[in-house]
A and B are shown apart, each in its own frame.
Chain A
Amino acid sequence: MTTLAASRPTTESHRARGLVPYFLLGTWFGVVLTKSQVVSWFRIQEMFRFQSFYMYGVLASAVVVAGISIRLIQRYHVKTLDGTDIVIPPKALGRGIRYWLGGTIFGLGWALTGACPGPLFALVGSGVTAMIVTVAAALAGTWLYGYYRPRLPH
């Protein structure tokens, strides 16, 4: 990828090189998702049936570690690697309809497919190639949301 980009003008190769850390982080994400088996329809079913602590342990410990990290970043005014400030934009609550209604629609899909968006792509990589159809359907779903967005309550 970098060798290809190197033959192009400097700005292009510079931009492509900037993407490498994100690609590597994404690769690690895919490994963690598959090795922890949170991509498994079985695990998601077990969670929604309250028949194991496993998924709750994963989600709760992830939130705690992420939360402590954010507090540390804020307390010590940690900056990004290139020295800019780290700012987390707050999510506008508004009337909140989009969150509970959109969330419920996603929840239906999460339990039916057994996968949220990250795991969908990790499953395709791990060889469950029929999930390509689910990815295509998810893209269609996002596109439909964009189309109907002006008429939906938020």
Chain B
Amino acid sequence: MVAFLSRPWPWWVAGPLIGLFVPALLVLGNRQFGFSSNLRHLCAALAPGEVAFFKYDWKQSGVWNLAFLAGTVVGGFIGGRLLGDPAVPLSARAHAALVTLGIHDFSSIVPRELFSWSALATLRGSVLTITGGLFVGFGTAYAGGCTSGHGIAGLANLERASALAVLGFFAGGLIATHLLLPVLLR
């Protein structure tokens, strides 16, 4: 048990466990699984300004999801630190491709040479961290969902809107991976 908990979990454990968040939230209170709504709730709570998109009762509609978010941070600590096994068992091909791109440090869950406070001082680190974040926030709000809301809950409910969104996720991901990253990491 302890050995299983301290190793990375295989996909056939992780995937079904993630899928179960959809019925768990429905049964708990008819809530829709969707994490990116929290970015909107946080904007509405912290800096609504005069923007109509943020003028709604976030305490009424979103506070359950913000509690879920707070849990996710704590769960990240438990899973990533207390039960941690940071090195990722990447496929040999992916490892080789990333070495070609100039990545050398594979010891952590993310490449520290790109995502750390010291990397933020570099051009590539700041571009990945900041513009990447801007795209995540703008894109999920525009699409009305992210991997959880569209990719899992939406596809599971056979939503055409979500299928379109997921095609977009992959189009954007492929463009960034194959066209932008080779330039940014050079």
Chain A residues proximal to chain B, CB less than 8 Å: 18-49, 51-55, 57-67, 69-70, 72-73, 78, 80-82, 84-93, 96, 98-118, 120-131, 133-147, 149-150, 152
Closest-CB distance, A75 to chain B (whole angstroms): 13
**Are B72's CB and A29's CB within 8 A?**
yes
- Main SS class of interface, A: helix
B residues less than 8 Å from A136 (CB atoms): 133
B residues less than 8 Å from A101 (CB atoms): 142-143, 168
Interface: B58 (CB within 8 A): no
**Are B165's CB and A30's CB within 8 A?**
no
Question: Nearest residue in A to B90 (C-beta to C-beta)?
Answer: A42
- The bracket for how many chain B residues form the interface is 35 or more
Interface: B104 (CB within 8 A): no
**Are A62's CB and B15's CB within 8 A?**
yes
6 nearest A-B pairs in the assembled complex, by CB-CB distance: A30-B75, A107-B172, A103-B168, A126-B80, A26-B71, A141-B137
Closest-CB distance, A57 to chain B (whole angstroms): 3
**Are A26's CB and B70's CB within 8 A?**
yes
- Complex CA distance for A133 and B17, rounded to whole angstroms: 29
B residues less than 8 Å from A20 (CB atoms): 67
**Are A130's CB and B129's CB within 8 A?**
yes
Chain B residues proximal to chain A, CB less than 8 Å: 5, 8-9, 11-33, 35-36, 38-40, 42-43, 46-47, 49, 51-54, 63-65, 67-81, 83-84, 88, 90-91, 93-94, 97-98, 106, 108-111, 114-117, 119-120, 127-144, 146-148, 150-162, 164-178, 180-181, 184
Q: A26-B72, A66-B20, A117-B140 are in contact. List 18 more A-B contacts (CB 8 A).
A: A32-B75, A49-B97, A70-B157, A81-B29, A99-B164, A99-B165, A103-B168, A104-B169, A104-B175, A109-B134, A111-B176, A112-B132, A116-B148, A134-B130, A134-B133, A137-B130, A141-B136, A141-B137
**Are A127's CB and B68's CB within 8 A?**
no
A residues less than 8 Å from B160 (CB atoms): 93, 96
**Are B20's CB and A33's CB within 8 A?**
no
**Are A35's CB and B9's CB within 8 A?**
yes
Q: Which of B21, B137, B172 contacts A140 (CB 8 A)?
A: B137
Q: Which of B43, B46, B72, B180 contacts A33 (CB 8 A)?
A: B72
A residues less than 8 Å from B88 (CB atoms): 37, 40, 42-43
**Are A111's CB and B172's CB within 8 A?**
yes
- Complex CA distance for A12 and B97, rounded to whole angstroms: 54
Q: List, sorted by A's number, 19 A–B pairs whose CB atoms are closer than 8 Å.
A: A23-B71, A23-B74, A26-B74, A26-B75, A30-B76, A36-B9, A41-B115, A65-B15, A66-B33, A66-B152, A70-B26, A88-B157, A99-B161, A99-B164, A106-B169, A135-B133, A137-B134, A139-B137, A149-B51
Closest-CB distance, A130 to chain B (whole angstroms): 5
Which has the most chain B C-beta neighbours within 10 Å: A86, A91, A92, A106?
A106
